[in-house]
Structure formats: C-alpha cells, structure tokens
Amino acid sequence: DFTVQTDHVKAEIQPTMWGIFFEDINFAADGGIYAELVKNRSFEFYTPLMGWEEKKSEDNASYITVMNRSSKDSANPRYAQIKLDAEKEAFTLTNEGFRGMGLKEGLSYSFSLNARTLKGAPVTLHIELLSHDNKVVGKTSLKLDSPHWDKFTASLKSTVTDPKGKLRLSFEGKSTVDIDMVSMFPSDTWKNRPNGLRADLIQKLADLNPGFLRFPGGCIVEGRELATRYQWKKTVGNLEDRKVQINRWNTEFDHRPTHDYFQSFGVGFFEYFQLSEDLNAEPLPILSCGMACQFNTGELVPMDQLDPYIQDALDLIEFANGDVSTPWGKLRKEMGHPAPFDLKYIGVGNEQWGPQYIERYKVFAKAIKEKYPEIIIVSGTGPFPDGKEFDYAAEELKKLDAEIVDEHYYRNPEWFLENADRYDNYDRSGPKIFAGEYAAQSVAIASPDNKNNWQCALSEAAFMTGLERNADVVHLSSYAPLFAHAEGWQWTPDLIWFDNLNSYATPNYYVQQLFSTNKGTQVVEIGYASNEPVTGQEELYASAVLDEKNNQLILKIVNSSSKDATKTVRLEGDTKTTGKGSITVLKSEALGRVNSFDNPENIHPTTEEANFRGKKLTINLPAYSLTVVKINLK
C-alpha cells in the first residue's frame, strides 16, 4: 500500500516540465501545420514544376517556361512565364497539393499570386477547385493586367469535402504572363490568421497545455551538411524572401529519397515564437553550433570561422527580446509583434558530441552569457544514454557548469520501465535535465514497423512518473516526433497522426496530456509504507504532486501488470481533504492496441467523480492502466 507525505515537499515543479518538440519531419510543417495548400508555390523545388501539371494547347502555341533571376533575387530566383496564344484554348496548370488538397464543403479559400503581364495586356485567370476526380467544385476568376509585379487575390468556396482536391489555373488572353508565389489557404486557419496554421492540429497542441515549444528540431537544425542547416534569418520577413530549401527528411519511411519534401519556411521563427505565445508555452529555439549532422557527414566549421553562427544566436535573442529600435527588434515589429517574445532559453546544437562539440559549446556559452547573462543555455549530450560519447559530453558539460543538458531516449518499452528510477540518484550538483526527445519504440529505433501502441504509451507513463518525482533536476521534457502525415512520413512512432482533413491523438498523446494538464506545482513523496519510491515493485509506478492553484493533491499511478490491483493510499501530514475529487483512467487490456483515423478514441481517458472518506483511500488500479487521482484539499 502507498503512503503520501503530503507535507513533505520534495521539489518545485517547473512550469516547463511538460512541453512539445516540433520538427518539420513527416510533413509536419509544409503539408502539415502550415495551412498552405499549394505545393512548390514559387517553383523552387529541384524540378521547377514538381507538383504542377501543365496542359498545353495542341500545337504548343501556348507554353510555360521557368525563368531564373538569381542575380537579382537570390532568395526567390524562379518564376513561371506563360506565353499565351489567344486563338487557342486556355493554358492550364494544375497543382496537386501535398498529397492532395483537403477541401471542406462550404469553406472559403483565399487564393493569391504575384503576376505581371506583358505591357499590361490583360490575361483572364480562371481559378477552379477540383475534386479528386477532376470535377469543378468551386470557381472564380481574376483579371491580371499589371505590367509590374503585383499581388492579386481572390476567394472561392468549395461545394464538397474531399481530402484529395486540386487547384486548376487556366490562363486566357493574348499576352505573356509571369507568375510566382501561387498560394491558397483555407479561411479557417488558427486564429483566422493569413499565412496561418491548420486549426485542428494546433488545437491538439493547445489541448496539451504545453509548458514550452521546442523548435525547429531535431536533426533539421544541423542539416545533412552545413549548407542545409536551419538558418533562422532566412525564415523571417516577407514570404518571398524566405529561401526554399530541401528538407533534411526528404526520404520515404524506408529511407529512399522522395524528391518532393522542401521547406518553404512559411512557418519560420516569427511564426514559431507567435505559436509559443498562443500556446502560453516558453519558446525554446535550438540553433546550429557549426556542426552538421554527425550521423551523416559530420561537417564542421573551423573554430576560427564560428563567428557568424554565434552572431546568429545573439541576433536571435535580439529578434525575440530586443527593443524595437534595434535592427532585429525592428524586424519583429514590422512583422506585427512590437512587444518582445520574452525568450528565456536557447539551445546550442542538437545531438552533438565529442571534443568538437564541447569546444564549440564553450565559445557559444561565453558569447551568449557575456551579452545576455539571463538567457538559459540548453546544451546537448551525445545521441543516447549509455553510449561512450554521451558519457563524455555529460562529464565535460558538468565540468563547465552547463545549466541544462538535452537527453534523448528512443528505446524499447522495457527500457522505459527499467529507467523510471533514472534520476533518483542523479548528481544534484550537475546540470538540470531536458528530456528533449523520447518515445518508446515497439520494434526498434526508427523502424517503419513501430506502432503507437498502448504498451509503448504505458511504459512512457511509468518513466514519466520518474521524471516527475525528480522535478528538482528534470526541468523540461517532450515526446518526439510530434506529428506525422499518414501518407508522407519518415519516422514512427509519432504523437499525432493526420491526413489532409483529419487527425487523431495516439495513446501516447493522452499520456502526455494527463501529465501535462495535471502538472501541479510541487512534488511530494509517494512510497510504500517504507517510503521507498514506487518504481516497479509489483509492477506499479507512482508520483504525487500538490497543485497549489487548484488546492489539490494529484496522484499518478501506473499498473503495468496484467492484473487489476486494489491499493490503499494513506495520506500523512496535516493536509485535510474535502472528501471529493476525481479519478481518470487510461487503459487497455491489450498492449498492442492503437488509435486510428477510424477509431481515434479506441484508447482515451475517462473521468469519474470520486468521494474519498478520511485519509485512507482505496483505489482500484486496472490491469495495464494509468490512473490519475485528484483529491480536493481543504
């Protein structure tokens, strides 16, 4: 039976304890949260017309060419030029979207493009929404008649719901028309913002009540080679000025290249900061430290050429927090956010290790702390615990008084159960922990056969009781990856799966949500009668927190055994209960069970009000379950 020492506060829980990790992997940004429906809108993919299908007139009198003005515009060099012959039928271009376009019946779509016509000779543009079987399900038209580049906009409505819609553009006239930045957004974006995000997906993030948002990754920070690392300065300002780049995850799930996974950076650093603010989550950007992905080339910037990388970090802090009179603060204002974003954390490198990382980290840390002593630096340890490189980095960072280290665990469910006590004896004088990426792997790390099954989710819950019990050292944690498009993923398992119209939460999501929305403010002791922490005895795992805001005691108990259990929980200390509260259970008798588009609530939490008499509570813990007990205090 359990004893809870309600007066014995072991640790304060950081508001950042449970957060989210966002990376543009599995089409999470373009084709995912970024609501843009047009793929390759500025013709910058390797194959300039990828995503577009042209229909020429029979004698080729009307045709398209792709122009490159790179000496004038290196960020957005290409545009399409369409030469029209009025005598012939219209020239049409159809965009396929990101594995189709999700269209919704009755919803309006905002179309725009930049265009100019030869000497202003008018061109009529017919804009049509097509269903998957090429029926016209929405239409409007525009007159393009400007001799200079101009933005033209139109709105059209879909008469059907179709996950595989398309956009057809037909050009008519006797002229030559140049087009670029062809774009279409649904009108129901998150907070109805233009250039906005998919509301259903962002709502799922908001429902997690995350303490922080880590962005933009992940390996994407590093790049396969330095040239394709994530450079935040190229992701802010006008959309046209954000240079499109091949995505580091441009592969199929079996690692074959896909050739069509690019980053438009329509979701860039401004949008990430804005999203953090919307979610009331601390922004946590991670920057390149001058090392490309060590799993790939391992390209390094020589130490004497590190300055631009460090300057990027310093300028980012100015972009987020600087006064509007500073150059980067001014840009933030011009982008619509004069108030600072109140950045508190910055990450230096992702999954990097060895002496090369340590010597680069030192230079970053010195420069950042000299200018911004209040900013907390997150450093990486090697890729995974129990590797030599991990131990080396951890030791060195300890010597350097690093503030927070980012540890990643992609392990099997057994590892998560066995490591629920990982931080119980952790050196309290060392850096704090950011458990920055973790997910139980049902088959093997990054195996395409991994499933978001209940066994994995339950083992993560057991592990998370250990994170929570050690909230004095674990200050942040996040599951990874966050999103996956059902028809375009490179990595599984993932927290939220989506297609062009729908999404579903995995059992792992519900585990995260139960911890995050029941975070509490202070950890108190929960143990067996002997006060030993509950880390696997009788296949049970447990943690207890006080929630000062709601005046509650909250217990989280995992029963990882195949048998139901009934346990007594004795509350010790002066705390008095009202006798009321609730019990929430997340469970499945089958460890292999998953949620799906067809059955999104196969595994989901259920809550019942509960009455507790006195300070000795009897709690039923079903087989294979996570139970959250909330006890209202007087």
Closer CB to ligand AHR, 43 or 491, in the complex: 491
157: left (phi over 0), alpha (psi -120 to 50) or beta: beta
**Which residue is it, tokens 């942040």?**
476
Site for ligand AHR in 484-513 (CB under 6 A): 491
**Residue 525 falls in the annotated catalytic set:** no
Closer CB to ligand AHR, 183 or 452, in the complex: 452
Distance CA 323, CA 346 (A): 19
**DSSP reduced 3-state for 437:** strand
Which residues are registered as beta bridge partners of 497? 484, 504
What residue number has its CB nearest to ligand AHR?
218
Closer CB to ligand AHR, 19 or 218, in the complex: 218
Give the residue from 213, 212, 248 showing the smallest Cα distance to 230: 248
Distance CA 150, CA 298 (A): 44
* 431 belongs to the binding site for ligand AHR (CB under 6 A): no
Which strand (E) or helix (H) includes residue 81? strand 78-83
Residue 490 Cβ vs ligand AHR, minimum distance, rounded to whole Å: 9
Distance CA 433, CA 520 (A): 19
User: Residue 336 CB: number of other CB atoms within 10 A?
Assistant: 9
* 480 belongs to the binding site for ligand AHR (CB under 6 A): yes
Residue 355 Cβ vs ligand AHR, minimum distance, rounded to whole Å: 21
Closer CB to ligand AHR, 44 or 406, in the complex: 406
Site for ligand AHR in 385-404 (CB under 6 A): none
* Structure-block tokens of residue 243: 């240079």
**DSSP reduced 3-state for 257:** strand
Residue 156 Cβ vs ligand AHR, minimum distance, rounded to whole Å: 38
Contact present, 306 and 360 (Cβ < 8 Å): yes
Closer CB to ligand AHR, 293 or 540, in the complex: 293
The values of phi and psi at residue 13, to 5°, are: -95, 130
Site for ligand AHR in 188-227 (CB under 6 A): 217-219
Closer CB to ligand AHR, 31 or 218, in the complex: 218
User: Given candidates 5, 350, 552, 560, which one binds ligand AHR under the rule CB under 6 A?
Assistant: 350
* Structure-block tokens of residue 13: 């829980």
* 285 belongs to the binding site for ligand AHR (CB under 6 A): no
Residue 438 Cβ vs ligand AHR, minimum distance, rounded to whole Å: 10
Closer CB to ligand AHR, 350 or 381, in the complex: 350
Residue 21 Cβ vs ligand AHR, minimum distance, rounded to whole Å: 7
How many residues sit close enough to ligand AHR to count as binding (CB under 6 A)? 12
Closer CB to ligand AHR, 2 or 438, in the complex: 438
C-alpha distances in Å from residue 368, one per residue of 49, 324, 376:
43, 20, 9
Residue 406 Cβ vs ligand AHR, minimum distance, rounded to whole Å: 9
Which residues are registered as beta bridge partners of 627? 557, 585
The values of phi and psi at residue 53, to 5°, are: -120, 130
Closer CB to ligand AHR, 198 or 248, in the complex: 248
Provide CB contacts within 8 A for 244, sequence distance 6+: 42, 44, 45, 76, 262, 263, 264, 265
Contact present, 145 and 122 (Cβ < 8 Å): yes
Site for ligand AHR in 34-73 (CB under 6 A): none
Which residues are registered as beta bridge partners of 257? 251
User: Given candidates 138, 165, 481, 520, which one binds ligand AHR under the rule CB under 6 A?
Assistant: 481
User: Given candidates 406, 437, 468, 547, which one binds ligand AHR under the rule CB under 6 A?
Assistant: 437
| CA-CA-CA-CA torsion sign (300, 305, 308, 314) | positive
CA dihedral 30, 34, 38, 41 (to 10 degrees): -70
First to last CA, the chain: 24
User: Given candidates 315, 351, 468, 547, which one binds ligand AHR under the rule CB under 6 A?
Assistant: 351
Closer CB to ligand AHR, 186 or 382, in the complex: 382
Number of H helices, E strands in the chain: 10, 33
Residue 529 Cβ vs ligand AHR, minimum distance, rounded to whole Å: 41
Distance CA 515, CA 43 (A): 44
Site string for ligand AHR, 17-36 (x = CB under 6 A): ------x-x-----------
511: left (phi over 0), alpha (psi -120 to 50) or beta: alpha
Of 351, 403, 468, 525, catalytic:
351
Contact present, 382 and 351 (Cβ < 8 Å): yes
The contact set with ligand AHR (CB under 6 A) reads 23, 25, 217-219, 350-351, 408, 437, 480-481, 491
Residues that are catalytic: 351
